[in-house]
A and B are shown apart, each in its own frame.
Chain A
């Protein structure tokens, strides 16, 4: 199953090749593609060449760790890549580098701690990964400085939801591959981007290259519909359909476009919601101000616990997002922008 394969693949910012290779294989028969200097996978599906030219974007990279040094005892020091809450790191299994070496992030046993110590959150700089190496030399046989590590986490079905790492933004990648399998008269182009988690860097150059008439960014966004959060803090709700962004820290949507999306959703009876927060950022932040500006829509699948080893989302929301994007493209095809 593609979504399983995508979420289980390695792809920390700067080392997205596993994800890229899966996507290449998936779109080989339905679109032309190439890579650029940063590693974005740029695709184009000419259709019948009709205007407008629609760009689709989703990022391939995920947050993770990078090995920064190997200690005398064979322990690995690391730094985080992208926004990870240091407090989630302790007591997790990770997979490191091209050799897929397993390691654990340990912590001092509770027995050895002073009561006061427990009140202080552990910082990544105080943590290390143990791969069971005898010493530095032993560790260096399988791990190199600069290797990336990801959480060791499998795709699993949990009731109506699924659990996986990297749903942000492999759900977006998955949705685009599904859209590319359909046929339209207008030209679809776009990019599976790199390095979103460290500043939407892939999208910056991809939008510069593609010059579309309009862009749709597909994301996995945070859903805070959990206990101890009041409803006004939910931002998005899992199971209520795709979420449309009005504003985040990098982007203010054109209200006319948002209304258009809502209208298309209503006509096609697709449940969708507004993203009810102004925090966060996506590739859309860079795309909409590329060159002279590109009209941009950001649509996200709500996911709980993003940037952790176990995020949750709804397959129904993913299907609804595909349906919405499909309907939207058809609408652009018929009525223009």
Chain B
């Protein structure tokens, strides 16, 4: 699991530019799925045949990042965000483009740092002129945090654990499932960070009878954090509600029962902000009873998100039980 998480989180894949991460995932799953296809938006849809109802499992493969909107005469890049990033997170950070070009963030002079906005910042790729910059980067190119994945004891810190942690869980489930009781579709979605777009089209294409997303969730276990009853290392969290969905009681109970019967530790999650692919999936066609299993994660959308490997492994165990019972 550790190696897989490292491989996944270090891959490049901002929303709308998921080629590299898609290749990594395809490589991991191609020997295990009965069918694999891609749709128009670039979602990976891998099927593991089973006799029962159609179950869609979803984890998004895209990550937050930035997109170049302008290149000035001196070769500095202006940018906009992809997904929910705070400009304050970017101070002193580095980013990397798909072709390996590395850039650092700089900012204009400001009287009060509170005035910091994206349009006061720029990316410096070490180019001296516009022409030199354009050889490496085009307007519209996207970049992600430039950061390694580090394993710290049982915890892991990396960029893009949101939601490569979920991807890792889905991959492990697919690799280990033998005969699922559902006709199971493992979907690695695109463009979740910009509005659950991949989940919307893939769910329409599949038309599942039920669905479970695997995504990350916030925690309330750091000093003076917000009040939230989710902690790292206490097992995966069964989502009750977030801004995009109130999970269907049937799926919620299925996950809770499976955990309790197998003595798999679990937590319950009420997330006040944020949404997940489940939000788009459950409103597809005439409705899809849906739920979500969350991996507790600290410092989401920063270059150093932190989660527990054990929570991911427990999530795999739980989903395998749900699939095979």
Q: Does A pair with B?
A: yes
A residues neighboring B (CB under 8 Å): 231-233, 246-247, 250, 252-255, 258, 274, 276-279, 288-289, 291-295
Interface stretch (choices B24-32, B200-208, B263-271): B200-208
The 8 A-B pairs at the shortest CB distance, nearest first, are namely A252-B16, A293-B40, A278-B80, A246-B140, A293-B201, A232-B70, A292-B205, A232-B78
Which residue of chain B has its CB nearest to the CB of A246?
B140
Assess whether A276 is in contact with B139, with CB atoms less than 8 Å apart: yes
Interface stretch (choices B2-10, B85-93, B190-198): B190-198
Kindly list chain B residues whose C-beta atoms are within 8 Å of the C-beta of A246: 67, 139-140
For chain B, residues 43 to 59, give those with C-beta under 8 angstroms from any C-beta of chain A: none
Complex Cα–Cα for A233 and B69 (A): 9
Assess whether B200 is in contact with A289, with CB atoms less than 8 Å apart: yes
Kindly list chain B residues whose C-beta atoms are within 8 Å of the C-beta of A288: 41, 197
Q: Which secondary structure dominates where chain A touches chain B?
A: loop
Which residue of chain B has its CB nearest to the CB of A285?
B195
Q: Nearest Cβ distance between residue B11 and chain A, in whole angstroms?
A: 18
Complex Cα–Cα for A276 and B139 (A): 7
B residues neighboring A (CB under 8 Å): 15-17, 39-41, 67, 69-70, 72, 78, 80-82, 119, 139-140, 191, 194-195, 197, 200-202, 204-205
* B70: contacting residue among A231, A247, A253, CB under 8 A: A231
* Known contacts A246-B140, A247-B140, A293-B40; A278 and B204 CB within 8 A of each other: no
Q: Nearest Cβ distance between residue A18 and chain B, in whole angstroms?
A: 33
* B69: contacting residue among A232, A252, A255, CB under 8 A: A232
Kindly list chain B residues whose C-beta atoms are within 8 Å of the C-beta of A250: 195
Assess whether B201 is in contact with A291, with CB atoms less than 8 Å apart: yes
Which residue of chain A has its CB nearest to the CB of B118?
A278
Q: A247-B16, A253-B16, A294-B40 are in contact. List 13 more A-B contacts (CB 8 A).
A: A233-B119, A252-B16, A252-B82, A274-B139, A274-B140, A277-B69, A277-B80, A278-B80, A278-B81, A292-B201, A292-B204, A292-B205, A293-B39
Assess whether B67 is in contact with A278, with CB atoms less than 8 Å apart: yes
Q: Nearest Cβ distance between residue B144 and chain A, in whole angstroms?
A: 14
Kindly list chain A residues whose C-beta atoms are within 8 Å of the C-beta of B67: 246-247, 278
A-B pairs with beta carbons under 8 Å apart, 26 shown: A231-B70, A232-B69, A232-B70, A232-B78, A246-B139, A246-B140, A247-B67, A247-B80, A250-B195, A252-B16, A252-B191, A258-B140, A276-B69, A276-B139, A277-B69, A278-B67, A278-B69, A278-B82, A289-B197, A289-B200, A289-B201, A292-B201, A293-B39, A293-B40, A293-B201, A294-B40
Complex Cα–Cα for A46 and B15 (A): 36
Complex Cα–Cα for A279 and B119 (A): 12
Q: Nearest Cβ distance between residue A241 and chain B, in whole angstroms?
A: 15
Assess whether B204 is in contact with A291, with CB atoms less than 8 Å apart: yes
Q: Nearest Cβ distance between residue A261 and chain B, in whole angstroms?
A: 12
Q: Nearest Cβ distance between residue A203 and chain B, in whole angstroms?
A: 15
Complex Cα–Cα for A279 and B16 (A): 16
Assess whether A276 is in contact with B194, with CB atoms less than 8 Å apart: no
Kindly list chain B residues whose C-beta atoms are within 8 Å of the C-beta of A255: 16-17, 140
From A233, A258, A277, A289, residue with most partner B Cβ within 10 Å: A289
Complex Cα–Cα for A292 and B119 (A): 35
